[in-house]
Every structure is written in C-alpha cells, then in structure tokens.
Amino acid sequence: MSVLVVLPTYQEAANIGAVLHRLRSACPSAHVLVVDDASPDGTADLAAAVGHELGAIDILRRPGKSGLGSAYREGFAWGLARGFDAMVEMDADLSHDPASIPELLRPLGGSVELVIGSRYIPGGSIPQWKAHRRVLSRAGNVYADALLGMAVTDLTSGFRAYSASVLRRIDLAAIRADGYGFQIEMAYRAAQAGAELAEVPICFTDRVEGRSKMSLRTIVEALALVTWWGLLRVTARGAGRTLQSPRIESPARIDRVAPVVSPVATDGTFPVSPSDHPGAEREPPAPASPANRSTGG
Ligand SMILES: Nc1nc2c(ncn2[C@@H]2O[C@H](COP(=O)(O)OP(=O)(O)O)[C@@H](O)[C@H]2O)c(=O)[nH]1
Ligand SMILES: [Mg+2]
C-alpha cells in the first residue's frame, strides 16, 4: 500500500523539522506532501531542506493563506493524481504523534475506507486539556454525532487515514468547509459515499511551539454546517427519502493494538520520484526561525 501523508502548514517553522524526522522514523516508506501557504516564517524552505536530507518529501507552495480545508483538498488531489493508495492527514505541530500512523493505517482496506484517530474512545486521551476545553470539544462532537447519526466519537479529529478509493468517490471540489467543519464534512461525505468508518485511539498533545490558526469563525462554521445537515436529514426523512443518511449504523471500533515494529509498507517504492512532481523542491538548508499556542479540536 503506497501511503501519502499530507501535512498542511502555516507558520510551523518551529515544528516542521521535528515532525518530518519523526514521521520518517515512524513510517519509513510513506511519502510526505507539505502544503504550505507562503508561511512568512520560512516553513516551506525548512521543509524543503529536510526533504533534501531525507528524500520522499514534496512541498506544495501556495501563494497565500487559504485555509486548512483547501490545503487538504489540494493535497488529496495531488495524491490521487499520482496514484497513492492511502492518504493520512495530520497537523504539523506535533499534536498528532507520527508513531500512531501505522495504527491508523492498519484497519484501512476492504470496506473500511476512513479511519479516524479518536480522543474519546478507550485508550484515547488529551493529557493537557483543562476541563472546559474537554467539555467544549466533547459537546461539539456529541452534537454533531446526534444530528448526523454517524456513531463516531471524534468527528472533529484531524488525524485520519483515507483510502484513495473513497476520496475518488467524494467531490472534493464541492467541499467548502474549513477547519473543524472540514473534518466533519469529510467524514459525513465519506459515509454518504458508502465508506465504513473505524476509530482508533490517539493521544492528542497540545502544541508546544507556534500558535493555533483555528478561530472562533471555524467553530461557528462547523456548528452551522452540522445544524444545516441535521435539518436536511430530518426533512428528507419527513419526505420519505433516506439519501441524506450516512450508511454507518455501527462503525467498527478498533481498540489499541500492539506497537508496530515494521513499517507500513516495506518495498520503499513510490508511484513517482519527488523530482517528477511540479512543485517538488530540493533546496539547501535554511536557518530555523521560532514561531509561537492551540485550540485543539
Ligand atoms: N496550508 C495551510 N495550513 C494551515 C492553515 N491553517 C492551519 N494550518 C495547519 O493546519 C494544522 C492544524 O492547525 P492548528 O492551528 O494546529 O489547529 P488546532 O490544532 O485546531 O489548533 C497545522 O499544521 C497548521 O499549520 C492554512 O490556512 N493553510
Ligand atoms: Mg494543532
């Protein structure tokens, strides 16, 4: 299985080097695409330097900050065009531990086409969060779950693995939500497209370096979208239609499994070499510059 890890970055100069090195150790055969929105702190140049050192790392440089959702849409399209079998999404701020990627990928295959790293199933955790943040995040997830009927505990989690097959069935260009709304919408669309969803436990660590880019606007957008889809479901049900209902009555829940010793794929081959890609970069190392905290999800 060829795996592409899509890493959206905006102002992650203080984290990008560490996350790329940890990714390579945890998943030696995975290819990485950093999608950077012209971060003024030089994140893209730092990523390119690490890419030069480690190989199999591409940088997609976009002209300006266009949002997390748009970065993932473009990253997925990039991976689909190059024939990757699976795509992992994760934050580049070390909130998501690259060591969990093999566990995210393990259930993928067959009818399971989306695996979500969950903080809210047994084994999952958010060690540093204070009670009010836990309550807010949990309440948002319970609300979304109740309205969408998905039986998923962590719809806003941004640590996931998708099969290329389900990404091909989703009209990525039609997805407009950003931030948390993007994560919820992707899970909802995947379920509507017939995917079976699974959750594996993850430990979410608050970022130490840099600052969160999530705003109140993204939280409001997510709540509004969930409410809208919930209303559509109720209306459709009232009209005797079932099209709006996602097809997951009881998604598979996979409990924590033994630590992975072998890499996800062992052949080390990728569909194309990095230098074949438009936007592929090999540049000399640039000096790191520190940046600055997190809302989580
Ligand atoms: N390319 C790109 N990446 C973004 C943008 N906004 C956030 N990110 C990245 O998306 C990931 C999640 O954002 P973060 O601010 O950590 O959100 P939080 O974990 O919910 O606080 C991080 O790797 C960010 O650098 C954006 O507009 N464009
Ligand atoms: Mg984060």
Contact assessment for residue 79 and residue 89, using Cβ atoms and an 8 Å cutoff:
no
Q: Which atom of ligand 1 is nearest to the CA of 294?
A: 21
Q: How confident is the model over 276-292, as pLDDT tens digits?
A: 333 444 333 333 343 44
Q: Which one is predicted more confidently, 124 or 269? A: 124
Distance 93 CA to ligand 2 centre (A): 6
d(Cα 155, Cα 136) in Å, to the nearest integer? 13
Distance 177 CA to ligand 2 centre (A): 17
Contact assessment for residue 16 and residue 47, using Cβ atoms and an 8 Å cutoff:
yes
Tell me the CA distances in angstroms from 86 to 34, 93, 234, one per residue in order: 16, 22, 33
Q: Pairing state of beta strands 112-118 and 160-163?
A: antiparallel
Distance 68 CA to ligand 1 centre (A): 6
Q: What is the DSSP letter of 38?
A: -
pLDDT at 240: 65
The contacts of residue 95 (CB under 8 Å, 6+ apart) are 204, 205, 206, 207, 294, 296
d(Cα 34, Cα 17) in Å, to the nearest integer? 11
pLDDT at 64: 97
Tell which one of 68, 154, 216 to mutate to probe ligand 1, the residue whose CB is within 8 A of the most ligand atoms: 68
Tell me the CA distances in angstroms from 207 to 19, 91, 180, 240, one per residue in order: 12, 10, 17, 46
Tell me the CA distances in angstroms from 129 to 95, 164, 203, 255, 294, one per residue in order: 12, 33, 11, 22, 10
Q: Which atom of ligand 1 is nearest to the CA of 66?
A: 27
Q: How confident is the model over 17-32, as pLDDT tens digits?
A: 999 999 999 999 999 9
Ligand 1, atom 24, residue with closest C-alpha: 9
CA atoms within a 13 Å half-sphere pointing along the CA-CB vector of 74? 21
Q: How confident is the model over 31-72, as pLDDT tens digits?
A: 999 999 999 999 999 999 999 999 999 999 999 999 999 999
Q: Which atom of ligand 1 is nearest to the CA of 180?
A: 20
The ligand 1 site (C-beta within 6 Å) comprises 8-10, 12, 35-37, 65-68, 71, 91-93, 95, 207, 212-214, 294-297
Tokens of 219: 């939280």
pLDDT at 232: 87
pLDDT at 234: 82
Distance 18 CA to ligand 2 centre (A): 15
Q: Which one is predicted more confidently, 268 or 88? A: 88
Q: What is the mean pLDDT of residues 222-241?
A: 84
Length of the chain in terms of residues written: 297
3-state secondary structure of 34: strand
Closest ligand, as measured to the CA of 68: 1
> Look-up: residue for tokens 């999608």?
35
Distance 114 CA to ligand 2 centre (A): 20
d(Cα 153, Cα 252) in Å, to the nearest integer? 12
**257 pLDDT above the threshold of 60:** no
Q: How confident is the model over 99-125, as pLDDT tens digits?
A: 999 999 999 998 999 999 999 999 999
Name the CATH topology of 3-255. Answer: Spore Coat Polysaccharide Biosynthesis Protein SpsA; Chain A (3.90.550)
Q: How many angstroms separate the most distant Cα atoms in the chain?
A: 61
Ligand 1, atom 27, residue with closest C-alpha: 67
Distance 131 CA to ligand 1 centre (A): 23
